[in-house]
Structure 1
Amino acid sequence: MTIERGPTTSAAPRAVARRGNRAPWEEPPTTVGQAAKGLTLGTMLAVVVVPLWIIVVTSLSTPGAVNRAGGLVIWPDGLTLEPYREMLGDPTVRTSLLVSLGITLVGTLVSMAVSVLCAYGLSRPRSLGHRFLLFLLIVTMFVSGGLIPSFLVVTGLGGYDQWWALILPSAVSVFNILVLRSFYSSTSADLVDAARMDGAGEWRILWSVVLPTSRAVTAVIALFYAVGYWNSFFNVMLYMPTDSAKWPLQYVLLTFVNRGNGLPGSVNSGFGSTHAQTAPLSLQMAVVVLTLVPLLIVYPFVQKHFRAGVLTGAIKG
């Protein structure tokens, strides 16, 4: 007696293989959809990469190449390192680079210390007055005294032409505190209770329980603060516009571009320079590249935490 077998159903496994790791509710990709995604990603990549390419190439170009291009150089045509030698040989640029690094390091540490402590205190449900303090912080996001009252307060406290005026007026971001508070509030209550049963105080809980479980968001917020301090120049315009020895690199670049007659404090550089082998535009772009290099060095070490730090807590489940 033979047993007849029905037709083999191999279509289902093939469909599953075709779907791959896609969720059951997601439709299989189409050619038009894939092409649209590729075009969109390529356009976004070009928007980011092409300006960087033009800046770097222009910074390495000779005066003849800049003149032939009529400005910014798109394709290399006579490269030289003279703009970088002249830029780094200028004492104002070297000093401003050290000033920017110092302000970024100290400012980031101060901002992170204040933000972490404030966010942790507001995240504890039994802390004294945390709801009222949270309300006050949120109000400051929408209502502020304005520029003139801030200037009068800082100068009235003796901040004019002082280093701390470049850090403390912008040391705290309420938005960053709210993000940190959201993460700290979601810390496992069992871990906190277990630490308390072992005799840990609030400082120990923050250092040994909350911060290790919030490493991603801490790295992202630190990156936000560091980028803000590194790119800051407005406080310099307000509180120390005359002493070039205290200017950060971004303000030196701004002054250089606005004046159009050389780096601040230098004699034989930039426009009207006796260095005929350096184009003024190349020197400007070289300073721009110098401002970008530290961020390009630091970002890869923080990038692995960036996605988790931004998305975790925004999506539940």
Structure 2
Amino acid sequence: MEKLMSKGDRVFTVLVYAFLIVFTLLILFPLFYVVSTSFAPEGDYYRGFFLIPSSWTLEAYQYLLYNPSFVSAFKSSVVITIFGTIISMTLTSLMAYGLSERWLKGRSVINFLILFTMLFSGGLIPTYLVVSGLHLVDTYWALWLPGAVSAFSVIVIRGFFTSLPYELKESARIDGCGEWRLFAALILPLSKPVIATFTLFGIVGNWNTYFSAVIYLNDGSKWPLQVFLRQMLILEDEKIGELAEALFTYTPAARMAAILITALPLLVIYPFLQKYFNKGMFIGSLKG
């Protein structure tokens, strides 16, 4: 039989639920406002603040989907995200696999150098000079290569690989399995939690790329969505490159619709990878 709560416990429980409800409403309110504004007709903006539009319309979404500048920015974000994540996960997982193997000579030194890079940054100007010297400015490679391998990701994924039974890998080698096949057919399938976790990190990071794009991409047709949104929301009174004409025609509904479309891919992807998140992070961190 459950113990009855005292008066103090009941009051505390009510206060906790009240706080959580208020906190949840504060989080959901901006999202609700963005959604309702994106479906509102243009006339609603002249009657002041509102939460529910007088009528629901898809004009803002239709305008964006037929706008060449927005479509170009969306395509750029998709390209940057897909190839950036593939490059990052390929290089990171291969490096982590090598460092997890006992036969690798000098792996302690390499591990120390990896940790050392977490303490000191290469700096913005030296990085730009290297990228410029390699003639990567105004190309997507300038966004992909400088941050392709993360020290934190290598350490955690290496820890996960190390947690796998060493005897299992030795048995596969005895049966004639080469290193590439061992990595692709055995290690990666067993490492779905940590691979999915850092794939999610890579997708979010590449999709939200802004600072690097501003620095390295001069061609407006290559700008990703985050740069495009800034021009739309903050710098709309300035003529910037090829977006000048479009910026002066964006209504508040179009801006809110652009924000929702930008956030939608991550909202769709996250539920499929979220189940691996905790397991991948904790196991990799503990063993690392």
Q: TM-score, normalised by structure 1?
A: 0.80
The equivalent of 1:306 in structure 2 is: 277
Is the contact between residue 159 and residue 286 of structure 2 (CA under 8 Å) also seen in structure 1? no
Equivalent in 280, 288, 297 of residue 259 of structure 2: 288
Question: In structure 1, what residue type is equivalent to 2:173?
Answer: R
Question: In structure 1, what residue type is equivalent to 2:108?
Answer: R
Question: Aligned-pair distance for 1:223?
Answer: 0.6
Question: Aligned-pair distance for 1:258?
Answer: 2.5
- Output the CA distance in 2 between the equivalents of 1:286 and 1:48: 19
Whether 1:119 aligns to 2:96 is yes
The equivalent of 1:218 in structure 2 is: 195
The equivalent of 1:42 in structure 2 is: 21
Is the contact between residue 255 and residue 264 of structure 1 (CA under 8 Å) also seen in structure 2? no
CA spacing shift, 1:185–1:39, aligned 2, 3 Å: farther
CA spacing shift, 1:151–1:123, aligned 2, 3 Å: same
Equivalent in 55, 62, 81 of residue 85 of structure 1: 62
Whether 1:252 aligns to 2:233 is no
Question: In structure 2, what residue type is equivalent to 1:151?
Answer: Y
Q: Which stretch of structure 1 is more off in the superposition, 103-112 or 294-303?
A: 294-303
Equivalent in 121, 133, 136 of residue 110 of structure 2: 133
Is the contact between residue 40 and residue 253 of structure 2 (CA under 8 Å) also seen in structure 1? yes
Question: Aligned-pair distance for 1:35?
Answer: 4.2
- Output the CA distance in 2 between the equivalents of 1:146 and 1:183: 30
Structure 1: 5+ residue stretches without partners: 1-13, 19-29, 274-278
Bigger fraction of residues in helix: 2
- Output the CA distance in 1 between the equivalents of 2:285 and 2:140: 37
- Written as runs of structure 1 = structure 2, the 5 A alignment for 1:86-165 is 86-165=63-142
Whether 1:52 aligns to 2:48 is no
Is the contact between residue 60 and residue 253 of structure 2 (CA under 8 Å) also seen in structure 1? yes
- Output the CA distance in 1 between the equivalents of 2:205 and 2:155: 18
Structure 2: 5+ residue stretches without partners: 4-8
CA spacing shift, 1:121–1:45, aligned 2, 3 Å: farther
Question: In structure 2, what residue type is equivalent to 1:177?
Answer: V
Question: Aligned-pair distance for 1:109?
Answer: 0.4
Question: Aligned-pair distance for 1:234?
Answer: 1.2
Is the contact between residue 256 and residue 263 of structure 1 (CA under 8 Å) also seen in structure 2? no
CA spacing shift, 1:129–1:67, aligned 2, 3 Å: farther
Is the contact between residue 92 and residue 263 of structure 1 (CA under 8 Å) also seen in structure 2? no
Is the contact between residue 252 and residue 263 of structure 1 (CA under 8 Å) also seen in structure 2? no
Q: Which has the higher contact order (CA 8 A, sep 6+)?
A: 2
- Output the CA distance in 2 between the equivalents of 1:59 and 1:234: 27
- Cα deviation, 1:163-213, whole Å, max 9, x if unaligned, reads 211211221211111110111111112212221222223223222222122
CA spacing shift, 1:255–1:126, aligned 2, 3 Å: same
Question: Over the residues paired in the alignment, what is the CA RMSD in angstroms?
Answer: 2.4
- Written as runs of structure 1 = structure 2, the 5 A alignment for 1:261-272 is 261=237, 265-266=242-243, 269-271=246-248
Is the contact between residue 107 and residue 229 of structure 1 (CA under 8 Å) also seen in structure 2? yes
Q: TM-score, normalised by structure 2?
A: 0.88
Equivalent in 169, 181, 189 of residue 204 of structure 1: 181
Question: In structure 1, what residue type is equivalent to 2:33?
Answer: I
- Cα deviation, 1:112-136, whole Å, max 9, x if unaligned, reads 0001001111111221211111111
Structure index of larger Rg: 1
Equivalent in 206, 223, 231 of residue 208 of structure 2: 231
Determine helix, strand or coil for the equivalent of 2:275: helix
- Output the CA distance in 1 between the equivalents of 2:48 and 2:102: 63
- Output the CA distance in 2 between the equivalents of 1:78 and 1:184: 55
Question: Aligned-pair distance for 1:76?
Answer: 3.1
Q: Which stretch of structure 1 is more off in the superposition, 301-310 or 183-192?
A: 301-310
Equivalent in 144, 152, 164 of residue 187 of structure 1: 164
CA spacing shift, 1:224–1:47, aligned 2, 3 Å: farther
Q: How many residues align?
A: 281
Determine helix, strand or coil for the equivalent of 1:135: helix
